[in-house]
Chain A
Amino acid sequence: MTHTVKKTMAKNTGVLQKSLTGISGFDEITQGGLPLGRPTLICGEAGSGKTLFAMEFIVRGATQFNEPGVFVAFEEKAEELATNVASLGFDIKKLVSQNKLRIDHVHIERSEIEETGEYDLDGLFIRLGYAIDSIGAKRVVLDTIENLFSGLNNAAILRAELRRLFQWLKEKGVTAIITGEKGTGTLTREGLEEYVSDCVILLDHRVVNQISTRRLRIVKYRGSVHGTNEYPFLIDEDGISVLPVTSLKLEAKVSSKKISTGIITLDEMLAGKGFYKGSSVLISGTAGTGKTSIAASFAHESCRRKERCIYFAFEESPEQIIRNMHSVGMDLNKCVADGLLKFQASRPTMYGLEMHLVVITKIIRQFKPQTVIIDPITNLVNVGSTSEVQSILTRLIDFLQTQQITAVFTGLTLNNAIKEQTDETISSLVDAWIQVRDIESNGERNRGLYIMKSRGMKHSNQVREFLITSQGLYLEDVYLGPDGILTGSARKAHQLQQLTEQMLQQHSLSRNDKEISRKAKELDFKIRTLTSEFESIREELKNSYVETELKKELVEKNRNEMIRMRGNGKTVINKPATKQNIK
C-alpha cells in the first residue's frame, strides 16, 4: 500500500524514486539505486554474477534498509543458494528465520509435466503474492525466469503471462530484479528486455591477455540519468563492489596542511615542511635508486604521526620490505603491530588493471588511511597499456584526492632512450614529482635527488645527493666542481680539499698578520730613531743659532765698548775698528 502511494507520489512530482541496493559503488553510478517499485532486468553470460547481484540486492535490503525480500529461484534450490552465498558472508538461514527473506524454489521438471490445453501462470502469481505478503516484501528477485521456457512448450502463453507478471509486479509496487541469460545478438535469450523496459543492466566477464575482468553497464535506465560507461566490478568475500569509473568533477577539497616526508633534508627542499596533505607524489628513478626507501620513509613518518597508512606492494613481499627497511633504521614491524600500517601485496598480473583499482579503492575504503603508497606503479603497465594505466591512475588519484589521502607512487624509469616515458604519462596528474637518478663518475655510482615539480610551494631547484645509511636517509648538497657535479667520494675528496685549503689559508693569514705587526713595530722603531735624530739636529741648529746671536751681541757690545772708549779720544784697538771708524 505504502509503495503504491509512493509510486503515485513519484508520478506526481515527476521524479523517479529509487531504491538503494546497498551494493558498493552501484548506488553511486545509478545515483540512488534501482527504480523503486519497478522491475529491472539484469542480463549477462553464465557466470557473470547475475544471481549474486540479485542476491546481494535482497540481502542488503533485508539487513541494511529493513526491506524484506523474496528470492524466487528457478535454477537452484534454497539450500544450494544459501551455501553458495554463505562464502560471501550472507547468512541466508538467519534472515529466513527472522522473516526478512524468503526463498522460493520453483522447480520445473520437464519430464514430470504434461501440457494440455489452456493454462496460465496464476500459480506463480499466487505463490509470489503469498510470499510477498507473508513477510511484507519490498524487493523481489526472479532468477532466472527464462527457465520457464525450457520447462514449458507453449511459448505464446508464456510470453503473454510474463508481460502480465511484470505488470503485476509493478502494481504490487515491489522493486524487482529479473535475471536473464545473454543470448546471441540479443540481451537475453528469450528477449525479456521487451517486457522489462525500465532498467536494463548488463554484466560482462571478459578475458583479455589471460586476465579476466568483470564489468557492468547500465544499458538503459528510463527516467534517470546514469553513467553509460562500463564499470569494472569485483566479487569477493564482501560481495560485489562496483567502481565508479569517473567522478572527475575536479572539485576535490584541498588542504594547506603540510606533512613531513620523514627525511628532514627533503622537507627542507620542500619549503621546509614537506608535501601538502592530500596531494599525490610521484617518486621516479632508475633501478636501485632508493625509491622504495623514500616511500617507506613516508609510511614510517605517517605512522609516527599516528596516522594510518596502506602500502600496496607490487614488487616485494611485506616481509622483504620490512627487513630491508630495518637495515636503514626504520622499524616498520612496529607500525604494522600498532595497526597503523597495512601491507597489501599482490602480483600485478593477479587481476586486470580495473580490478586492481577496485581492490585498491575497496581496501582504502575499509582501512581509511591518511597515506597510501603504491610501489611501484609502473609494474601495472605489465597488465595494461600505458594509456590504460594513465586512465586508471587518473581515477585513483581523483579518488584519493576526494578522500584527502596523500598518495605516494614510485615509478621505475628505464635508463634508455625512452626513459621518463612512464613518468610523462602520469607526471601531469601528480602534484609533486621527485626524481632520483644515478650519477656515475670516477668509477662509482651515486644517487642524485631533485624535485621536478611541487605544485603550490616554493621548492628547491638543487640537485642533492641522496644517501642511504644505516641511520636513515639523508640528502647532501652536491658540489659543483670544475668537471661538473661531484658526488660520493669525489664530493668527500672535494670537501676535504676545501677543508685543507681553508686551514692553509687560515695559517697563512695568521703568518701575514704577524709579519704586518712586526713590520709595524720595525717601522715604529725607525720612526722613533728618525724623530730623535731630527730632535738632535734641531737642537744643534738651535744651539748654533744662539751662539751666533750671542757672538753678534758680544761683538756689538765690544764695539760699543770701543766706541765708548774712543769717545774718550785716546785708544784705537784694532784695524777693523779703525776701518769702521774711517768710514
Chain B
Amino acid sequence: MKVMDTTKQTWELRLYIAGHTVKSLTALRNLKQYCETHLKGQYKIEVIDLLLKPQLAEGDQIFAIPTLVRKVPQPIRKIIGDLSNEEKVLVGLNIVPIKSGI
C-alpha cells in the first residue's frame, strides 16, 4: 500500500534557507540529488529564503536553518540540517529508496 501511494504521489518539498550560506547551498544540492535519484519526475522543490520573506517562518514553525519540510504527502515532516546524511533524509521523508525498492 505504502509503496503504491508514494510512487504515485507528487512530492511537495519546501526548503527554507537564509541567504546563500554554505549550509543552505549544501542542503539544496543534496536535496536535488536525492530527489533526482529516488523521486524522479514526482517532486516539486520550493526554496524559500527567509531573509527575503521572513513572515513565512512562522507558518511552518521554522526555527532552524536549513529546514526541509515535506508538505505533501501528509503528515508534515521536517528535516533540519544540511541533509548530508542520505539515509536519514530518506527515512525522515519516508521515501523508499530506488535501489532497495527494486
Spell out A's residues near B (CB within 8 Å): 104, 106-108, 112-124, 126-127, 129-130, 148, 152
By the criterion CB–CB under 8 Å, are A127 and B82 in contact? no
By the criterion CB–CB under 8 Å, are B51 and A126 in contact? yes
By the criterion CB–CB under 8 Å, are B61 and A116 in contact? no
Chain B's nearest CB lies how many Å from the CB of A79?
A: 15
Spell out B's residues near A (CB within 8 Å): 16, 18, 23, 26-27, 50-51, 54-55, 57-58, 61-67, 75-85, 88-89, 91-92
Chain B's nearest CB lies how many Å from the CB of A518?
A: 122
By the criterion CB–CB under 8 Å, are A121 and B65 in contact? yes
What are some 11 contacts across the A-B interface (CB < 8 A)?
Answer: A106-B63, A108-B63, A112-B77, A117-B81, A119-B65, A122-B64, A123-B65, A127-B54, A129-B54, A130-B55, A130-B57
Report which residue of B75, B81, B89 has the largest number of chain A beta carbons within 10 angstroms of its beta carbon. Answer: B81
Given A113-B79, A116-B92, answer yes or no on A152-B58 (Cβ-Cβ < 8 Å): no
Find chain B residues with CB under 8 A from A122 CB.
18, 50, 64-65
By the criterion CB–CB under 8 Å, are A115 and B81 in contact? yes
Q: Which of A117, A130, A152 has a CB less than 8 Å from the CB of B85?
A: A117
Find chain B residues with CB under 8 A from A148 CB.
63
Q: Which of B55, B64, B76, B83 has a CB less than 8 Å from the CB of A124?
A: B64
Find chain A residues with CB under 8 A from B18 CB.
122-123, 126
By the criterion CB–CB under 8 Å, are B54 and A130 in contact? yes
Chain B residue at minimal CB-CB distance from A154: B81
Additional A-B contacts beyond A116-B92, A117-B26 (7; CB < 8 A): A113-B78, A117-B23, A117-B83, A118-B23, A122-B50, A123-B16, A126-B18
Chain A's nearest CB lies how many Å from the CB of B84?
A: 4
By the criterion CB–CB under 8 Å, are B64 and A120 in contact? yes
Find chain A residues with CB under 8 A from B82 CB.
116-119
Find chain B residues with CB under 8 A from A124 CB.
63-64
Q: Which of B23, B54, B66, B78 has a CB less than 8 Å from the CB of A126?
A: B54
Chain B's nearest CB lies how many Å from the CB of A78?
A: 11
Given A112-B78, A114-B79, answer yes or no on A123-B67 (Cβ-Cβ < 8 Å): yes
By the criterion CB–CB under 8 Å, are B23 and A120 in contact? yes
By the criterion CB–CB under 8 Å, are B55 and A119 in contact? no
By the criterion CB–CB under 8 Å, are B54 and A119 in contact? no
Query: What separation, in Å, do the CA atoms of A106 and B64 have in the docked complex?
Result: 11
Given A123-B18, A127-B62, answer yes or no on A116-B79 (Cβ-Cβ < 8 Å): yes
Chain B residue at minimal CB-CB distance from A130: B54
Query: What separation, in Å, do the CA atoms of A117 and B89 have in the docked complex?
Result: 10
Chain B's nearest CB lies how many Å from the CB of A206?
A: 35
User: How many contacts A-B (CB < 8 Å)?
Assistant: 95
Query: What separation, in Å, do the CA atoms of A129 and B51 have in the docked complex?
Result: 10
Report which residue of B26, B50, B63 has the largest number of chain A beta carbons within 10 angstroms of its beta carbon. Answer: B63
Find chain A residues with CB under 8 A from B51 CB.
126
Chain B residue at minimal CB-CB distance from A148: B63
By the criterion CB–CB under 8 Å, are A118 and B84 in contact? yes
Query: What separation, in Å, do the CA atoms of A127 and B50 have in the docked complex?
Result: 9
Chain B residue at minimal CB-CB distance from A102: B58
Q: Which of A115, A121, A130 has a CB less than 8 Å from the CB of B63?
A: A121
By the criterion CB–CB under 8 Å, are A112 and B76 in contact? yes
Query: What separation, in Å, do the CA atoms of A116 and B90 have in the docked complex?
Result: 11
Report which residue of A107, A113, A119 has the largest number of chain B beta carbons within 10 angstroms of its beta carbon. Answer: A119
Find chain A residues with CB under 8 A from B63 CB.
106, 108, 121, 123-124, 127, 148
Find chain A residues with CB under 8 A from B80 CB.
113-116, 119, 152
Closest 9 CB pairs of A and B: A114-B92, A130-B54, A117-B84, A117-B82, A117-B81, A122-B65, A123-B62, A124-B63, A122-B18
Query: What separation, in Å, do the CA atoms of A260 and B27 have in the docked complex?
Result: 84
Query: What separation, in Å, do the CA atoms of A104 and B91 have in the docked complex?
Result: 30
Find chain B residues with CB under 8 A from A115 CB.
79-81, 88
Query: What separation, in Å, do the CA atoms of A113 and B61 have in the docked complex?
Result: 11
Find chain A residues with CB under 8 A from B76 CB.
112
Chain B residue at minimal CB-CB distance from A106: B63
Find chain A residues with CB under 8 A from B23 CB.
117-120
Chain A's nearest CB lies how many Å from the CB of B26?
A: 8
Given A104-B58, A114-B78, A114-B80, answer yes or no on A119-B92 (Cβ-Cβ < 8 Å): no
Find chain A residues with CB under 8 A from B92 CB.
114, 116
By the criterion CB–CB under 8 Å, are B84 and A123 in contact? no
Given A122-B18, A126-B18, answer yes or no on A106-B61 (Cβ-Cβ < 8 Å): yes
By the criterion CB–CB under 8 Å, are A119 and B64 in contact? yes
Query: What separation, in Å, do the CA atoms of A114 and B56 have in the docked complex?
Result: 21
Find chain A residues with CB under 8 A from B64 CB.
119-124, 152
Find chain A residues with CB under 8 A from B78 CB.
112-114
Query: What separation, in Å, do the CA atoms of A214 and B24 have in the docked complex?
Result: 47
Query: What separation, in Å, do the CA atoms of A126 and B84 have in the docked complex?
Result: 24
Chain B's nearest CB lies how many Å from the CB of A143?
A: 14
Query: What separation, in Å, do the CA atoms of A377 and B18 have in the docked complex?
Result: 64
Query: What separation, in Å, do the CA atoms of A122 and B48 have in the docked complex?
Result: 13
Find chain A residues with CB under 8 A from B26 CB.
117-118
Find chain B residues with CB under 8 A from A123 CB.
16, 18, 50, 57, 62-65, 67
By the criterion CB–CB under 8 Å, are B58 and A120 in contact? no
Given A119-B64, A119-B81, A123-B64, answer yes or no on A114-B54 (Cβ-Cβ < 8 Å): no
Find chain A residues with CB under 8 A from B50 CB.
122-123, 126
Find chain A residues with CB under 8 A from B79 CB.
113-116
Chain B's nearest CB lies how many Å from the CB of A142?
A: 11
Chain A residue at minimal CB-CB distance from B17: A122
Find chain B residues with CB under 8 A from A108 CB.
61, 63
Chain B's nearest CB lies how many Å from the CB of A424?
A: 62
Chain A residue at minimal CB-CB distance from B88: A116
Find chain B residues with CB under 8 A from A127 CB.
54, 57-58, 62-63
Find chain B residues with CB under 8 A from A118 CB.
23, 26, 81-82, 84
Chain A's nearest CB lies how many Å from the CB of B39?
A: 17
Report which residue of A108, A119, A123, A129 has the largest number of chain B beta carbons within 10 angstroms of its beta carbon. Answer: A123
Given A123-B50, A126-B54, answer yes or no on A114-B61 (Cβ-Cβ < 8 Å): no
Chain A's nearest CB lies how many Å from the CB of B82?
A: 4
Query: What separation, in Å, do the CA atoms of A123 and B80 have in the docked complex?
Result: 11
Query: What separation, in Å, do the CA atoms of A245 and B60 have in the docked complex?
Result: 47
